Each structure stands twice: as structure tokens, then as C-alpha cells.
């Protein structure tokens, strides 16, 4: 049975280390409900299928939105991992391929990667894997030949969930809906949009998908694209954002005077989306804990043995509202738009 660390309990419960220490060691006063939460969380983690992480070094490279990048960076530092963390937030495709090529020069260090599923990147990773490199796709899947495993959520189910939430929130009256896409080269974005559109056609025909904006996970690009979409569709009642750029989306809604009047389903709860969710500007947020996803990706990357079967690990995701905003790292350090590497 895997060892459960206090750090794991802090991350899973949001409680302080001192409170958990007092509860586990029966020192001092801890409220009965708090103690019960800690004990239940301990049992759940102890019974999980995740064994202890390997001590091997691993490279992590992520090209995600600002809020998710902050969460993964903090999880990397707090998780006790060894290796390098490369933040490629906002980097052009050519830069991503260049940086990944550098990480693939040696094959003895596995790679955990979040990136677009482009032909140059897939070809690069396939060649590296043929030389013995182990690659785990994190959050956004890659072509099967480009990776050994994938860790994330069922993104098509997430898209269907977004459609269901909007259908329940709007009732039976016909309403106009818009979708904000990041880039279909991100498999997670593509699958979420497919799930959303399929659910609308099959089950929720009163929701008319009339507009689309492409935000590229960038706040400024999303702001401009959503502003144009709102100008074209003054009767828009709901928006589903499959990717990032939520700060820009919120700015466009506020500038148009429609903040809080349009139902908004977004992804992730972090330093960007958390305050928007609390404010009520984001109606629903779909999220899994990035720290859990990263830990499993590193485990698969560093686990002994290679195996022939490609692993897909889809974790549960939750639906959050202004009434149950989780503690998934709502605050974070300032960010730079330049790629950054941390070496350990």
C-alpha cells in the first residue's frame, strides 16, 4: 500500500500542515469534522492505485495557459520531483519543437509533455521513442506513436458535461450559444469541442450554436475574439470556453456590459478562473487537480520497465460553481511570457 505523506494530505484537503499533523498524531485540539475529513482523505489516498514515485529524474515541458502553468510549477516544486521543469507558456510552435528537440537529445531521461499535436512534434517524438525515449502526454493527448502514456481527463465527456450544464441552466427555451476554442491542434481542445457539439446535436437541440471565437489560450487574443463574437451576436445567452484565456474573456464580457448576464462554462480552477468563479462571472468550471495529474505522469514516466501496452489514465473531473470554489492554488507568483527552465 502506498505511503501517504503530509504534503499529499495538504494538497488534497487544503488544510494546513500543522492541523493535519495534530490530527494524525492526536496532539492538540482538532474539530471532529476536520479530523473526519483528514482520516477519510488518508484512507482514500492510501487505497489509491498510485504507488510511490520513482526517484529517477524526469523532464517536464508544458505549453499551457497562465493559470495552469502556475499550478503545475507549484506542484513541481512542492512534489519533491527531480529533473527539469520547462515552462513554454505562449511559446510559438517552432520554439516548442526546438525546446523539445533539445530535451530529446538524450534518451535516458523521460519526458512529460503538454503541447500541440502537430506533425513536426509527432515526428520528433516518434523518432526519440524509437531510440528509447519514454514520453508521457499530460493534460492534452498526442498521437499514439508519439507517446507511451497519457494522463488527463476524458475531454469528450467534459464537452458533453458543458452542454448538459447549459441545457439544464437554460431550460427548454431556445437560446444562442457560442464556443471559444483555443487551437484544435491541442487534442484536449479538439475533444472537448467534439463532445460539446455532438451533445448539442444529439440531446440539446434548443441550444443553437451560432458563434465561434478562437483565443489560442492567450488573454489578449481571447479578449479580441470574444468581443467580436459578442458584437456579432447581441442575443448570445451562453458561452463554452474549451481552453484558456479566461482573463481576456472576462474583460470582453465586462467591456460589453454583459458580465454575469451570459452563462459561462470554463475549464480549470486556478489563479485566473478562481476569482472569476467566486465573482459569478464564470458559472461553472470543470477541473481536475493538476498536482494529481502531474504526479501520475511523473510516476508513469519513471516507473521501471517499459511494457508494450500504451497507458491512458483518465482522472475524474469535478463541476465547480461560485458556491464550492476549491483550493486548487488560487494564488500564484507573477509570470513571465518567456520560456523558463528550472533545473534540479
> Is 53's pLDDT higher than 60?
no
Q: What is the rounded average pLDDT of the residues 237-261?
A: 96
What integer is the mean pLDDT of 133-150?
Answer: 96
The secondary element (H helix, E strand) that includes residue 279 is: helix 273-279
Q: Are 165 and 265 in contact (CB under 8 A)?
A: yes
Is the model's pLDDT at 333 over the cut of 70?
no
pLDDT digits (tens, 9 = 90+) for 215-248: 988 899 999 999 999 999 999 999 999 999 999 9
pLDDT of res. 335: 40
Judge whether residue 26 has pLDDT over 80.
no
Distance of CA 132 to the CA centre of its chain: 28
Q: For the residues of 104-166, what is the DSSP string, one character each?
A: TS-SSS-EEEE----HHHHHHHHHHHHTT--EEEESS---GGG-SEEEE--HHHHHHHHHHHH
The predicted model gives 123-130 an average pLDDT of 95
Residues 4-31 have a mean pLDDT of 79
Query: Higher pLDDT residue, 7 or 256?
Result: 256
Mean pLDDT along residues 10-34: 80
pLDDT over 70 at 337, yes or no: no
pLDDT at 307 (0 to 100): 45
DSSP per position, 202-224: HH-TTEEEEEEEE-TT-HHHHHH
- Give burial (CB, 10 Å; 0-12/13-18/19+) of 7: middle
Predicted TM-score of the model (pTM): 0.79
pLDDT of 217 reads: 84
Comparing C-alpha atoms, which of 81, 74, 34 is closest to residue 53?
A: 81
β 284-287/236-241 pair status: unpaired
Please answer whether residues 302 and 139 qualify as being in contact, where contact means their C-beta atoms are separated by less than 8 angstroms: no
pLDDT at residue 176 in the model: 97
Helices 17-25 and 6-13, axial angle in degrees (round to 10): 120
pLDDT at 22: 82
Lowest mean pLDDT of 17-21, 58-62, 296-300, 312-316, name the range. Answer: 17-21
Q: Give the residue-averaged pLDDT of 250-270.
A: 96
**In the chain, % of residues over pLDDT 70:** 90
Report the DSSP pairing between strands 83-87 and 340-343: antiparallel
Residue pair 170/200 in contact (Cβ under 8 Å)? The answer is no
pLDDT band at 332 (very low <50, low <70, confident <90, very high): very low
Is residue 142 within 8 Å of 125, Cβ to Cβ? Answer: yes
State the Cα–Cα distance between residues 197 and 191, nearest whole angstrom: 10
The C-alpha cell at 230 is 459578442
- Cα torsion 138, 140, 141, 147 to 10°: value is -40
In this prediction, residue 48 carries a pLDDT of 57
| CA nearest neighbour of 315 among 138, 191, 165, 104 | 138
Q: What is the DSSP code string of 6-38?
A: HHHHHHHH---HHHHHHHHHT-S---HHHHHHH
pLDDT for residue 193 is more than 90? yes
Tell me the per-residue pLDDT of 267-318, one tens digit each, with 9 for 90 and over. Answer: 999 999 999 999 999 999 999 999 999 999 999 999 876 444 468 999 999 9
Amino acid at each position: 500500500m502506498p505511503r501517504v505523506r503530509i504534503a499529499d494530505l495538504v494538497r488534497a484537503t487544503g488544510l494546513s500542515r500543522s492541523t493535519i499533523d495534530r490530527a494524525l498524531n492526536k496532539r492538540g485540539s482538532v474539530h471532529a469534522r476536520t479530523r473526519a475529513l483528514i482520516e477519510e482523505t488518508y484512507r482514500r489516498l492510501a487505497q489509491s492505485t498510485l504507488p510511490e514515485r520513482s526517484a529517477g529524474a524526469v523532464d517536464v515541458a508544458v505549453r499551457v495557459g497562465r493559470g495552469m502553468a502556475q499550478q503545475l510549477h507549484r506542484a513541481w516544486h512542492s512534489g519533491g520531483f527531480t529533473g527539469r521543469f520547462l515552462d513554454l507558456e505562449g511559446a510559438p510552435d517552432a520554439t516548442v519543437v526546438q525546446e523539445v528537440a533539445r530535451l530529446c537529445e538524450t534518451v535516458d531521461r523521460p519526458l512529460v509533455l503538454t503541447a500541440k499535436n502537430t506533425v513536426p512534434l509527432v515526428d520528433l517524438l516518434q523518432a526519440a521513442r524509437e531510440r528509447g525515449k519514454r514520453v508521457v502526454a499530460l493534460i492534452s493527448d498526442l498521437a499514439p506513436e508519439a507517446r507511451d502514456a497519457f494522463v488527463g481527463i476524458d475531454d469528450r465527456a467534459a464537452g458533453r458535461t458543458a452542454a448538459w450544464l447549459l441545457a439544464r441552466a437554460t431550460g427548454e427555451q431556445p437560446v444562442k450559444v457560442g464556443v471559444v476554442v483555443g487551437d484544435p491542434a491541442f487534442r484536449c481542445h479538439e475533444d472537448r469541442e467534439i463532445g460539446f457539439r455532438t451533445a448539442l446535436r444529439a440531446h440539446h437541440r434548443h441550444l443553437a450554436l451560432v458563434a465561434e471565437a478562437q483565443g489560442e489560450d492567450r488573454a489578449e487574443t481571447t479578449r479580441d475574439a470574444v468581443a467580436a463574437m459578442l458584437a456579432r451576436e447581441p442575443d448570445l445567452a451562453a458561452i463554452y470556453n474549451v481552453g484558456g484565456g479566461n482573463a481576456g474573456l472576462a474583460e470582453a464580457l465586462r467591456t460589453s456590459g454583459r458580465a454575469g448576464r451570459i452563462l459561462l462554462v470554463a475549464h480549470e480552477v486556478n489563479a485566473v478562473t478562481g476569482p472569476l468563479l467566486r465573482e459569478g462571472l464564470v458559472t461553472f468550471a470543470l477541473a481536475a487537480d493538476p498536482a494529481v495529474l502531474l504526479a501520475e505522469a511523473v510516476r508513469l514516466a519513471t516507473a521501471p520497465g517499459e511494457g508494450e501496452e500504451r497507458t491512458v489514465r483518465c482522472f475524474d473531473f469535478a463541476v465547480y460553481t461560485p458556491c464550492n470554489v476549491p483550493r486548487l492554488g488560487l494564488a500564484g507568483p507573477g509570470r513571465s511570457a518567456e520560456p523558463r527552465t528550472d533545473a534540479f
